[in-house]
Amino acid sequence: MKTNRSVSIPWHMIFIGIIIILTFPIIFAVGISFKPLEDAYNNALNFIPTQPTLENYETFFNSLNVVKIVSNTFIIATTVTLFKVFTSFLAAYAFVFFDFKGKNMLYFLLISTIFIPFSVTMIPNYLMISDLGLADSVWGVILPQLADAVGILLLRQSMKTIPISLIEVARLDNLGHPRIMKNIVLPLVKPAVTSTGIWFFILSWNEYVWPVLILKTVDHYTLPLALQMYISSEGGTNFTVAMAVAVITMIIPLTLYLLFQKYIIGTFASSGIK
């Protein structure tokens, strides 16, 4: 059924308005990051760099060990992603293709952790990480992030679409579970694995709450923590530098999203559907 134009045009305007509100801050930050501080202050409404400069980026690179900070962020995000995808894949496989005692209860138990606020686990985790001597270290940031059931939920969702007969045939051919996982299941759920992995990477790249508790030395910081150093409640006197750091922080997640947009949206769209 066709919709009347007098109805549809205002709605399109609303959508465009929302998109402008949502994306404008990003464009604004990119523009400001190439402006000299004085210019940005005096012409606050004009975000187009009329006298483009790299000085904000230079200031950031000169004041902190940026290479170290970016590589810390990258190492943490990659390790967390690989580990979470691997363990979630195994768990999802167990939940979809096996019947075992306590299956439903165990699934319920794991999935309910999605709803546990981090304040409930933060003190013991902090104490444990300190006792293990991992405070202020990469592993101290990584370990507690691994307890995340979202991957199990998403991959189970995807594996459930595989016809069980396919697996049964493989079993009759005496194929072991590792081979079935690698040669049959993995290729079939590859889009879900890819988007789950990218999502985990983005999540860990952006993680702030836990690293801020664990990391003390500036050289051990991740990008969001480095960015935080440039914030004060008034917007700060260094806000053009802050914009440059913000651009560096968001460039990787944005690139990944633009490259894998279709996968990511597809997988997340299904996460709310049981």
Find the shortest distance in angstroms from Cβ 1 to another protein: 5
Residue list 107-126, contact with another protein (CB under 8 A): 108, 110, 112-126
How far apart are the C-alpha atoms of 34 and 243, rounded to whole Å?
Answer: 9
Asked whether position 173 contacts another protein by CB under 8 A, the answer is: no
Give the binding-site size for another protein (rule: CB under 8 A): 101
Tally Cβ neighbours within 10 Å of residue 108. Answer: 10
Asked whether position 12 contacts another protein by CB under 8 A, the answer is: yes
Amino acid symbol at 139: W
Find the shortest distance in angstroms from Cβ 80 to another protein: 11
Residue list 209-248, contact with another protein (CB under 8 A): 209, 212-213, 223-224, 227-228, 230-231, 233-236, 239, 242-243, 246
Please say which residue, 71 or 268, places its beta carbon nearer to another protein. 268
Candidates 49-57, 60-68, 74-82, 263-271; binding stretch for another protein (CB under 8 A): 263-271
Find the shortest distance in angstroms from Cβ 113 to another protein: 5
Please say which residue, 71 or 161, places its beta carbon nearer to another protein. 161
Percent of the chain that is helix, strand, coil (3-state, to 5)? 75, 0, 25
Return all residues near 145 (Cβ < 8 A) that are at least 6 apart: 80, 84, 204, 207, 210
Please say which residue, 52 or 124, places its beta carbon nearer to another protein. 124
- Asked if 244 and 56 touch (Cβ cutoff 8 Å), the reply is yes
Among 100, 173, 174, 217, binds another protein (CB under 8 A): 100
How far apart are the C-alpha atoms of 119 and 92, rounded to whole Å?
Answer: 27
Question: Could you tell me the CA-to-CA distances from 227 to 61, 77, 152 in Å, in that order?
Answer: 12, 17, 32
Asked whether position 80 contacts another protein by CB under 8 A, the answer is: no
How far apart are the C-alpha atoms of 158 and 92, rounded to whole Å?
Answer: 9
